[in-house]
Structure 1
Amino acid sequence: MGLGFPLWIVATHYLNILFLVFLARSGIQILTAFPFFYKNDHCEPGKEMFKFTRRKVPRDRLTQSLDWELDAPPWLALPGHKGIGIGRHWHFLAMMGWVLTGLVYIVLLLVTDQWRRLVPTTWEVFPQALQAATTYLHFQIPPPAPGLPFNALQQLAYFTVVFLLAPLQIATGAAMSPAIMARAPWYPSLFGGKQVARTLHFFGLLAFTAFVLVHTLMVVVHGIPEEWTRIVLGPATGVNPAAVAVGLAGLLVILIANLAAHALAKRSPRLAQQLLAPPSDVLQRELSYHLHSRQHYPRSDISPYHWINGYPPPDQDYEELAKRQFEGYRLLITGRVETPLSLSLADLRRIGYESQIVKHNCIQGWSGIAEWSGVPLAKFIEHCHPTPEARYVVFHGFDDKAKTQPETGGVGRFYETLDLRLAVSPQTMLAWEMNGEPLPIPHGAPLRLRVETQLGFKMVKWIQSIEFVDDFRSIGLGHGGWREDYAMHSRVVGI
């Protein structure tokens, strides 16, 4: 007797559809934030392998990566438009559900005889699969393989998706994590670098899409009523109207879930952030807080072009400082410290000075390698003598986002927070030099933050002051940073 379809296969089948749809739509949302694909991690404009825009990045004027974010249609992307913050929340939540479903499926597959439905046990599967393909090309339906509910070609396709394609998607996703990349720079190099891993991840999305389309076509070819009866009722034969109704109900639930997800993001993005962020934040915090950066790239790896995200502050005080090449700049340190401080760049240099060549990773997807020099944040914090109540470090910038990014509807100067235990991790620093030269204004002069296990928006540029606090919820709108407040990003971004 051939293998039937136990209830757990039916349940995981529908859960996989649900999570894959959410992963695909939110993944498209993330990809449209930076629609360029490169063969190396320098992301130099004009040297893309391919891109989803006809516009060219000018080299004769200042431009930021946000200028190239596409407006994704909501029917395709989740949540649509320029919603990378909510898109990432959906992506990571769906990823956790998909991986958990996959693990349950694999375990149950291996502890029962159901593994035989996916794992070929003879090399004869290859000529049999070829024969099945030939039969399809002649517009005929090949018979099932002996002891299986489907033919050899289908078995090979399912084996490839479950045991090759799915692990590859997980592996390439991990290769784009700044925390993993910082702790183990060798890992993304297994794929040719982060940008190649990103491209492979995109091709994996296309492969899953093609599989779903062909799989659906095969269900239609073999007969929808008969196939749904077999899937829902197991080895039953014939057509059962109840089984068809259950199949349609499952697809209807998936459709309603997608409509509800879009409605939630559109009508109450803050509620979406509050509901979706906690599970993935826990995962990212446990990952990134324990993985310390160990990057040491050679100078020959420094990128010829380094993107920026955010335009320099149109602040009068800042512009006056820039005209004087930041002579007279003072960094103010307040909050939970024994004594408030006002430090010059020379004072900071006396506290400590180190250089590091590391890879920058933006939330949009681009990367770049540069040398940063400044004071390790651990030494700086030690010099500031925070009180025992201090748990977070708040970095305030000169940048008034109501002027530099008015389309977001956000107000106030840019700020970000770091947990104190993350702030003292290796290679976290306050930098005032880039590639051996004074820090350029577009990259954050006179002082910027570097946190190599987190995404780039956490690394505040144009720092005006630093504040030690016991709770970040009283700062701004209380979500831990300007982009967390107005773009619905996560506060912890090690992935």
Structure 2
Amino acid sequence: RFLRTFPAVQQFIATYPGTGSFAPPLPDGFPLWLRTCHWINFFLLLFMIRSGIQILADHPRLYLNPHCTPGSEWLRLLGPAPLDREYHAKEDTVSLPGWLGLPGIRHSIGLARWWHFVFDTLWLANGILVYVLLFSTGQWRRIVPVSLDVIPHTLSTALQYLSLDFPPPSGWLQYNGLQLLAYFTTVFIASPLALITGVMQSPAIAARLHLATGFLNRQVGRSLHFLVLGYFLLFIIGHVVMVFATDALNNLNHMTLGTNDRSWAGFLVFALILAFTTIAWLLATPLTLKYPRKVQHIGRWVIGGILDRIEKLRPVANYSEKDISPYFWVNGTAPVSDEYKSHLAEGFRNYQLNVGGLIEKPLQLTLAQLRALPKQEQITSNYCIQGWTGVAKWGGVRLKDIMALVRPMPNARYVVFFSFAHGSEKGR
């Protein structure tokens, strides 16, 4: 407000009031398809943000390097990882309240990912439809500047808003400079960036594009993805505040009924949309926890075909000794059974690998017998579901050599490995 007392600033605002030739006026207002897609986008984004926060909470650290070494993160939601003991990635997860995270309980990233993937897919389909209709109906002119005059008009609009002396409402015909650039950024920069950085985190695509190391590694994508989430969250908050601060009734009629008046009809429609969204928000967590298998089945039905095709991509990355990470996160939880402690004390001298099930020749192999089999070493990148990555050198007996010894039956479909760890899956 103080700045607006200066004659030069007053002249600047008079010359660039906020609207101008940088975008043509569109007298027809907001068509039905645009209003419908707007509210679908609002609904989908809220659940994408909820599930996205839940995914971040499973490894609440963000890095710019591909090795995820503790202490190298640029953002963390927990204290520093203790280096004086064996610290497991599962210990690093954060619990979220059920009203915020989806589903909210600790280490529920599997269910959160199904929510995220399904709503991502629906959001992408809605976005493609918006793009097609924007450019086929001419509505793109509402949010794409056609001259650089938008810059001084945007600065002028920002000054007017900050001084709490708002510019005249013009949204029905033409967005002011600040509105236009905000929508342009959201639709044509933030949204594609969300898609690109999300795809970068797919292990199959990352392995295909060699994103385990280098400048544009998966962790850079994860960090940018989180920043885009933050942008969308701030945009939604700012958007809602400005809708109510600059003439709520008129704005809500624009957004719901496509009319340019100050009746209460648009507010009532908005209230119904908000009530539906609130009910869905409150039911999402309890229903997910009650029917987790249903969530998985729905997710598989919506996006299973896409995931199957992505998983068939062949990795092309090769790694050398210099690519090996200086620190590699330990996954899962440490075994605590008496059997494991006994083996550990004996150096696994009396350990036996038991192989059974749908095989012709059940087998027991001692550690000495396993070591006598051919050993294979390889350097691979690990993309953990929790979000951390690392490159490590592994060595051991090839599975195909074990298979050759036990001869699986024709109806055998899966190999199930059991560890000494505890938990609901009993180490499976």
TM range (shorter): 0.7 to 0.9
Distance 1:246 1:342 in 2: 68
Residue 426 of structure 1 corresponds to none
5+ long unaligned stretches in structure 2: 1-25
Distance 2:212 2:40 in 1: 30
Write the mapping of 1:56-71 to structure 2, written as runs, cut at 5 A: 56-71=80-95
1:256 maps to 2:279:
yes
- TM-superposed CA distance for 1:76, in Å, is 2.1
1:204 maps to 2:228:
yes
| Moved >6 Å (runs of 4+) | 144-147
Give the percent of matched residue pairs that are identical in Structure 1 and Structure 2.
Answer: 38
Please state whether the residue corresponding to 1:42 is helix, strand or coil.
Answer: coil
- TM-superposed CA distance for 1:12, in Å, is 0.8
Residue 14 of structure 1 corresponds to 39
Distance 2:255 2:332 in 1: 52
Distance 1:268 1:414 in 2: 23
Q: Could you say which structure has the higher strand fraction?
A: 1
The TM-score, its normalising length taken from structure 1, stands at 0.74
Pair 109,188 (structure 1): closer, same or farther in 2 beyond 3 Å? farther
Per mean C-alpha deviation after superposition, the further-off stretch among 343-352 and 123-132 is: 343-352
**What's the Cα RMSD here?**
2.6
Distance 2:248 2:214 in 1: 45
Distance 1:336 1:154 in 2: 65
Residue 203 of structure 2 corresponds to 178
Please state whether the residue corresponding to 1:413 is helix, strand or coil.
Answer: coil
Distance 1:163 1:338 in 2: 59
Pair 229,2 (structure 1): closer, same or farther in 2 beyond 3 Å? same
- TM-superposed CA distance for 1:281, in Å, is 4.0
Contact 2:99 2:282 in 1 (8 A): no
Pair 144,356 (structure 1): closer, same or farther in 2 beyond 3 Å? farther
1:238 maps to 2:292:
no
Please state whether the residue corresponding to 1:357 is helix, strand or coil.
Answer: strand
- TM-superposed CA distance for 1:25, in Å, is 0.9
Q: Which of the residues 239, 246, 249 maps onto 1:215?
A: 239
Q: Which of the residues 84, 89, 111 maps onto 2:114?
A: 89
1:88-115: CA deviation from partner (whole Å, max 9, x where unpaired): 2211121111111111111111221112
Residue type of the alignment partner of 1:205: L
Contact 2:160 2:166 in 1 (8 A): yes
Distance 1:237 1:112 in 2: 20
The TM-score, its normalising length taken from structure 2, stands at 0.85
Please state whether the residue corresponding to 2:58 is helix, strand or coil.
Answer: coil
Pair 293,324 (structure 1): closer, same or farther in 2 beyond 3 Å? farther
1:162 maps to 2:175:
no
Distance 1:60 1:328 in 2: 30
Residue type of the alignment partner of 1:331: L
Pair 378,5 (structure 1): closer, same or farther in 2 beyond 3 Å? farther
Contact 1:5 1:232 in 2 (8 A): no
- TM-superposed CA distance for 1:273, in Å, is 4.2
Q: Which of the residues 331, 340, 349 maps onto 2:353?
A: 331
Distance 2:178 2:140 in 1: 16
Q: Which of the residues 391, 398, 411 maps onto 2:413?
A: 391
Q: Which of the residues 304, 318, 322 maps onto 1:296?
A: 318
1:393-442: CA deviation from partner (whole Å, max 9, x where unpaired): 222223232xxxxxxxx2x6211xxxxxxxxxxxxxxxxxxxxxxxxxxx
Distance 2:382 2:255 in 1: 48
Residue type of the alignment partner of 2:427: F
Per mean C-alpha deviation after superposition, the further-off stretch among 112-121 and 141-150 is: 141-150
Please state whether the residue corresponding to 2:364 is helix, strand or coil.
Answer: strand
Distance 2:171 2:269 in 1: 28
Contact 1:264 1:271 in 2 (8 A): no
Distance 1:242 1:377 in 2: 67
5+ long unaligned stretches in structure 1: 402-409, 416-495
1:367 maps to 2:389:
yes
Please state whether the residue corresponding to 2:98 is helix, strand or coil.
Answer: coil
Distance 1:111 1:123 in 2: 24
Residue 44 of structure 1 corresponds to 69
Contact 1:3 1:114 in 2 (8 A): no
Contact 2:66 2:213 in 1 (8 A): no
Greater Rg, structure 1 or structure 2? Answer: 2
Residue 413 of structure 1 corresponds to 426
